[in-house]
Structure 1
Amino acid sequence: MRFFSSVTLIAIIVGTALSAGPAARALSEPAMNGKADIRPIQSPSETVPGSDAESQAADDVTGAGREAVAISEALLQRPPARNDATLDDLFVRLGEAEGASEARGVVLMINRRWLRSGSDTADLLMTRARQAMRERDDALAVELLDRVIAMQPDWAEAWNRRAVAFHRLGDPLAAMADIHRTVTLEPRHFAAWAGLGHILREIGDEAGALASYEQALSLHPTMPRLEPLVETLRRELYGLNL
């Protein structure tokens, strides 16, 4: 069992979120015009990155998964200069994506990059950890991810997946500590920022949650379900008419 100071951790994580340029500025700016098509909010296990719903984007090849695979393959057929796209290239494409379908294809490619550690052994342990999480054996997933992180301490996705497992085990402080490490290693990790928002909202820090959600949207503008949450939180916190 890991023990953390809640005051210290929350200060560190929220400070990181509030120091993010676009998110911090958005807190004091007027909200966007128009009404959001607000959908029911999913439970944390469905919306926190790395959960079953999030894993399907990378693991399933049926339905929306097949569509995303087709889009990503089409993107990879672009001129040779862009075939070997770097993460920087992919984030540019994500910001310029014309609609949610194209964005899903780009996100799939980003997730594939994030899931590569450079070590076959670490990758195998990650695969086993993800399988354990799909089977709701989060304690086993934490044990496996402990080994992965010991081998590859600079692998942001390993920290992110362990954060999800900790959250599902009811340890939000450990989850926030791992999210902090994730976004330190990969500041563009939109799923980790969204996950932080979910946790902060659960513990009653709506301002911190709003900043985290806005940071996620600044990186992934069409991230599912976040925009209605942002609009709701702005209205609750600042009484803005949206």
Structure 2
Amino acid sequence: MRFFASLLILILSLAALPLAAQEAARPKDAKGRGQAPQERSRAITLDDLFDRLGKAQSEREAEGIASLIERRFSRSGSDTADLLLSRAGEAYGKKDFPLAVELIDRVLALQPNWAEAWYKRATVFYQLDDPVSAMADLQRALKIEPRHFNAWTGLGHILMASDDKARALEAYRRVLQINPQMSDVKTIVTRLAPEVDGQEL
């Protein structure tokens, strides 16, 4: 169980980093090749990216595509909401979780249909040892964007921590339907599936 708790904290902590820090950690788009990176980015839809993610042939390729998807997720269309979420990320990094929640509450008042904001608030609630609120926010995120693989992963970990292994396995399998190359999740499914699938109904 300690393995799952540690893995959840790692994934949620990385996902809650300020957007600027995430961007700095990602490789820059190649320049040239006939079309400017921003123009190429606009030409590729989110649906296209998810299609490519599902067909990725390696974990490295999938990570690159997933980073592009996460970048799209991190844009609300509102400069104010984006700024507030960035400040919430800074508060999270300083472990000022109450401030992070307050800022994300403001974000959600402006952009209630922004899946990423619900996901980010879930990460804060988890750090505040409030898995019930975290799960509720993850479910809101998934209702808005059912392909949010990070939200499915977080939901799986919370369910696993509460010993709801069957629903956790279902969540992990949803992750792999979207992003089949996630090695950590594949490892969990490999370990968990024989135990859950072997249970009598």
Aligned equivalents of 1:216 and 1:191: distance in 2? 8
**Residue 160 of structure 2 corresponds to residue 201 of structure 1:** yes
Deviation of 1:237 (Å): 1.9
Q: Give 1:120's aligned residue.
A: 79
Deviation of 1:223 (Å): 1.8
In the alignment, which of 14, 23, 29 is matched to residue 52 of structure 1?
Answer: 14
Q: Identify which of structures 1 and 2 has the higher relative contact order when contacts are C-alpha pairs closer than 8 Å and 6+ apart.
A: 1
Report the more deviating stretch, 53-62 or 203-212.
Answer: 53-62
| 2:17–2:90 contact (8 Å) kept in structure 1 | no
1:206/1:93 CA distance change after superposition, 3 Å: same
In the alignment, which of 133, 138, 159 is matched to residue 92 of structure 2?
Answer: 133
Where in structure 2 are the equivalents of 1:171-190 lying within 5 Å? 171-190=130-149
Q: Give 1:170's aligned residue.
A: 129
The superposition leaves residues 61-92 of structure 1 with CA deviations (integer Å, 9 ceiling, x where unpaired) of: 67xx44xx24xx24995879965211001001
Where in structure 2 are the equivalents of 1:7-18 lying within 5 Å? none
Query: Which residue type is aligned with residue 222 of structure 1?
Result: Q
In the alignment, which of 150, 172, 176 is matched to residue 217 of structure 1?
Answer: 176
Deviation of 1:134 (Å): 1.8
Aligned equivalents of 1:149 and 1:120: distance in 2? 13
Q: Please, what is the CA RMSD of the aligned residues?
A: 2.7
TM-score, length basis structure 2: 0.85
Q: Give 1:93's aligned residue.
A: 52
Aligned equivalents of 1:87 and 1:61: distance in 2? 18
Deviation of 1:58 (Å): 7.3
SS of the equivalent of 1:188 reads coil
1:77/1:59 CA distance change after superposition, 3 Å: farther
The superposition leaves residues 89-124 of structure 1 with CA deviations (integer Å, 9 ceiling, x where unpaired) of: 100111122211111111111111101111111110
SS of the equivalent of 2:153 reads helix
Aligned equivalents of 1:132 and 1:124: distance in 2? 12
Aligned equivalents of 1:211 and 1:75: distance in 2? 41
Deviation of 1:47 (Å): 2.5
| 1:52–1:134 contact (8 Å) kept in structure 2 | no
SS of the equivalent of 1:136 reads coil
Query: Which residue type is aligned with residue 129 of structure 1?
Result: A
Deviation of 1:231 (Å): 1.1
| 2:84–2:104 contact (8 Å) kept in structure 1 | yes
Q: Give 1:20's aligned residue.
A: none
Gaps of 5+ in 2: none
TM-score, length basis structure 1: 0.72
